[in-house]
Amino acid sequence: MRLDVGTILVILIAVLAATLLSAWIMSSVMSSKMEELYSVIKTQTTPSIPKKEPPQVQKTEKEKLIEEREKYKAQQVQVDEEELFKKLRKVIDQKVQNVLEEAKRKKERILMLLDIARGYTLGYVSMEEYNAFLMKVLSELEEFKRLWLARFPSVSDKEKLNSMITYIARTKLPIEVRTKNGKEVVRLPPEEALIKITSNINNAISILDDLIKSRGENPAITPLEVKLSNEVEKLKKKIEQLERQLEEFSMT
């Protein structure tokens, strides 16, 4: 079979086109593979760059100074509080330890109140002056009561102290009493008022003396009281000695 020239040309062109197409496809594939290989090699050979951390904010000298000052203030406040507590504890301990001496001083103030009452009876002191001093003494006794109970917290002592203060409060002038029928109130003259005042003050002092004695202290404050108290102690010792001698004599 003989092919004409046209057919041969068509076959040649088709073969050539197929060859060119195959070459182009092979070139594209090779180019793609080379790019992937190059990318892999580049990734492996390129050193990793560490991530940069955000820069720390540097404090200024002023901010540092303020921070140091605040720390110092906090420390200073703590030190001041500790010193304050120490001083407060020291003052409280001193007051509490000296409560028996304070009781004797309050006894002196009560006796002074009795002297002023005598002055009122004699006309040297006015009623207002006596009552003003009485208010001072009552205020001091209330403070003394808190001090005593801080040292000797006792329900019995509290009741006794309240009774003592009540007796002193009853000495306020004018002194008034009810008549026998209970219908009228009579104001006592200075002489009779002094008798009532003296009775109430003696009752208050008796309570205070008992409190002082209950804590093992001698309540005597005046030279005469001290002398009498010493004499009483001597007599007690002699009586105890005589009782022992009598017991020994009776056993023989």
pLDDT of 83: 77
Spatial separation of the C-alpha atoms in residues 16 and 142, rounded to whole Å: 130
Report whether pLDDT(17) > 90.
no
Nearest to 233 by CA among 248, 220, 247, 246: 220
Q: What DSSP assignment string belongs to 131-178? A: HHHHHHHHHHHHHHHHHHHHHS--HHHHHHHHHHHHHHHTTPSSPEEE
**For residue range 45-59, what is the model confidence (pLDDT) as tens digits?**
544 455 555 555 566
Radius of gyration over alpha carbons of the chain, in Å?
55
Which CATH architecture describes the domain 101-232? Up-down Bundle (1.20)
Spatial separation of the C-alpha atoms in residues 166 and 147, rounded to whole Å: 18
Among 23-27, 64-68, 189-193, 238-242, whose mean pLDDT is lowest? 23-27
Mean pLDDT of 110-125: 95
- Split at pLDDT 50, 70, 90, the class of 195 is very high
Spatial separation of the C-alpha atoms in residues 118 and 195, rounded to whole Å: 10
* Contact residues for 202 (Cβ-Cβ < 8 A; gap 6+): none
Cis peptide before 174 (omega within 30 of 0): yes
- β-strand partners of 178: 185
Spatial separation of the C-alpha atoms in residues 179 and 165, rounded to whole Å: 26
> pTM of the predicted model, to two decimals?
0.56
**For residue range 91-114, what is the model confidence (pLDDT) as tens digits?**
776 766 789 999 999 999 999 999
Q: By three-state DSSP, how is residue 32 classified?
A: helix
- Split at pLDDT 50, 70, 90, the class of 252 is low
Spatial separation of the C-alpha atoms in residues 56 and 221, rounded to whole Å: 78
8 Å CB contact between 175 and 127: no
Provide the residue ranges of all domains of the chain, joining segments of one domain with +.
101-232
